[in-house]
Amino acid sequence: MKTSRRRKISPSRQIRWDFTLVIFFMFSVSVLLMMSAGNRFSGVAWGGLADWDYDESVSLDGFMVVDLSDMDDADLAAGFMKGAAYAAQFPENVFPVLPLPRELDASSALPKVENTDLGGLELPPSVRIAHLQLPMLVEEIGDFGPLPKDLEDFEAIVLNTTDDGLKLPDDFLMDTLPGMELPDDDIILAEVSVNWKEHVVKSGETLSDIVLMYGGITTQDVLRANELRDANRLSAQQILLIPNSPERIEDTLEEVRTRKSRVVAMREQVEPLKISSYVVAAGDSLWSIANSQNLEVDTLVGSNVFKTSVLQPGVVLRVPNQDGIFYTFKSGDKIDNVAKRYRVSVDKIKKVNPTTDLYSLKAGNEIFLPGARPEAVAEAQPKKTGNATSANKSGSSSSSRSLRWPVMGRINSPYGWRRHPITRRNDFHTGLDIKAARGTVIRSAGDGVVAYAGWMGGYGKVVVVQHANGRSTLYAHCSSILVSQGARVSSGQNIARVGSTGRTTGPHLHFEVRNGNSPVNPLPHMR
């Protein structure tokens, strides 16, 4: 009879194996926890030591605003002490935002919200809570396409010792018309100061070499301040404006754009008139057609006769190759008087109409006036007293002052005739230029429908809102657009942000009010 022998393991060897397994398990758990913690807090723990980028495209849906404006000091002190407890008790998909953003009016911006579930959280009675549908912060809505050719040329201008942008173009300056006065002091868009230094590039110099000569700035600062796309493409005798500090980049950029605008004005050449036709299609508007033809809306208005304010498909429009209007001579008209009335030089009219004898024109003959606007004549008429019609032309008698201000700021350039601060030319300004910081929220001046949202020539990014009774408002030079064409907007709704797109020297809002197709002075319409 065989007996099986069982191998016995010594107690000391068994303990060693158990200890090894325990150590291995603890090490594995430790590694797992370290990897998880590293992924979760790398941006918080270590990212705080340097400026780290974050994604601005995070959805804002579901944010909560907590209004503390009505709390007294005792409540605020208690709130700070309990802040951590409150934050821990908010549901995962709700984020407390303190304080209210500047764009929101704490007394009126919070809509009433019922049945707000805070997961059992109890807040002081003086704290009001509301869920807000914040506008999506996007750079663009829709595809604006490439820049118009004139703006591409503007971006490509390089200041140099030959074209430094300090010289002003010669202009046909005329006496002030009867009843019309230009501003006593010129409007300043780019304020000349000591916020930059002028540097003339020498042969062989690189941007890095230049930056080392001036302290406190980087190559990116100089690139941005001078609108340079390539740091390696510098040429001898090129002029660079070096900002004194990063805070002066915007001021320097305004001066660079002012100089570029003057260079453009010096290089402008008058072209003979050419006319083409455009057949209106479904969905077209004067704004979209003007953009596609690289013209101002007033040019289309001054080149065609519209029976109604609604643009009908199939209508054929006359489209000139440049901005201006067609003028039909009346009995007693002389070319010199017409040129003076519209502030266009006779020499320029000759170059645009080379085959026309200007001094033999009779009543019924038509001529193209380059750069003229159809509303300029009404503003130039002598002002009457008593029951004058000037009030009616500005729209003040029929206006109920129903429009709100889209932004708050200094009016740098009013409506009407002005001597342009950059080109020094006599120019009719169809709106108000309101100074505001880049990125400032632009609000709709009234209820309406977005008639156009996109790029439009020298206006840059534009929003046009159609209101009741044939009135519309235009918001130009935006940095970003927050609404889409066809959207219904309410008074005070965020529709865009202030910028400097298009042909402009610095960030501001160009704001227009139009009755039908004609611009009017916005001031009598604002409350």
Q: Pick from 447, 431, 437: which is nearest to 493 by CA? A: 447
State the amino acid at position 432 in one-letter form: L
Residue 519: predicted pLDDT: 92
Q: Is the dihedral of CA 396, 400, 405, 406 positive or negative?
A: negative
Give the separation between CA 200 and CA 113, rounded to whole angstroms.
61
Angle at 515 (CA atoms; ends 419, 297), nearest 5 degrees? 60
The pLDDT > 70 percentage for the chain reads 64
Residue 110: name the closest of 172, 164, 153, 63 by CA. 63
CA 36 vs. chain centroid, Å, equals: 43
- Please provide residue 451's backbone torsions phi and psi, each rounded to the nearest 5 degrees: -80, -25
Averaged confidence pLDDT in the chain:
74
d(CA 94, CA 61) in angstroms, rounded, equals: 9
b/e per residue, 59-97, with b = 16+ CB within 10 A?
eeeeebbbbbeebeeeeeeebeeeeeebeeeeeeebeeb
Q: For residue 180, list its beta bridge partners.
A: none
User: Which has more confidence, 342 or 2?
Assistant: 342
Residue 422: is it exposed, middle or buried by C-beta count within 10 angstroms (0-12/13-18/19+)? buried
For the cut 90, the answer to whether the pLDDT of residue 522 exceeds it is yes
pLDDT(460) > 50: yes
The reported pLDDT for the residue numbered 351 is 95
- pLDDT band at residue 350 under the 50/70/90 scheme: very high
Percent above pLDDT 90 for the chain: 41
Span 19-49, pLDDT tens digits = 777 787 787 877 777 766 554 433 333 333 3
Confidence (pLDDT) at 154: 74
pLDDT at position 458, please? Answer: 84
Query: Is 404 in contact with 527 (CB distance < 8 Å)?
Result: yes
Q: Which two tokens stand for residue 249?
A: 């980049």
The three-point CA angle 261-167-182 to 5° equals 75
Please give the full DSSP string across 396-461, using - where no structure is assigned.
TTT----BPPSS-S-EEE-SEEEE-TTT--EEEE-SEEEE--TTPEEE-SSSEEEEEEEE-GGG-E
Closest by Cα among 489, 499, 479 to 451: 489
pLDDT of 393 strictly over 60? no
Provide mean pLDDT across the span 333-353.
92
Q: Is the pLDDT of residue 111 over 60?
A: no
Query: Which pair of structure tokens corresponds to residue 344?
Result: 């266009």
pLDDT of 5 > 60? The answer is no
- 249: exposed, middle or buried (Cβ count in 10 Å: 0-12, 13-18, 19+): buried
* pTM exceeds 0.85: no
Question: Of 458, 444, 454, which is closest to residue 141 (Cα–Cα)?
Answer: 454
pLDDT band at residue 170 under the 50/70/90 scheme? low
**pLDDT at residue 479 above 50?**
yes
Query: Can you tell me the mean pLDDT for 163-170?
Result: 78
pLDDT average, residue stretch 246-271: 88
* pLDDT band at 410; cut points 50, 70, 90: very high
Tell me the pLDDT band of 173, cut-offs 50, 70 and 90.
very low
Crossing angle between the packed helical segments 249-267 and 149-156, to the nearest 10 degrees: 120
- Tens of pLDDT along 116-140? 444 444 545 544 444 333 344 444 4
Per-residue pLDDT of 352-382, as tens digits, reads 999 999 999 999 999 999 988 887 665 544 4
Lowest-pLDDT choice from 199-213, 420-434, 470-484: 420-434
pLDDT at 36: 60
Closest CA to 175 of 385, 426, 372: 426
The mean per-residue pLDDT over the stretch 500-510 comes to 89
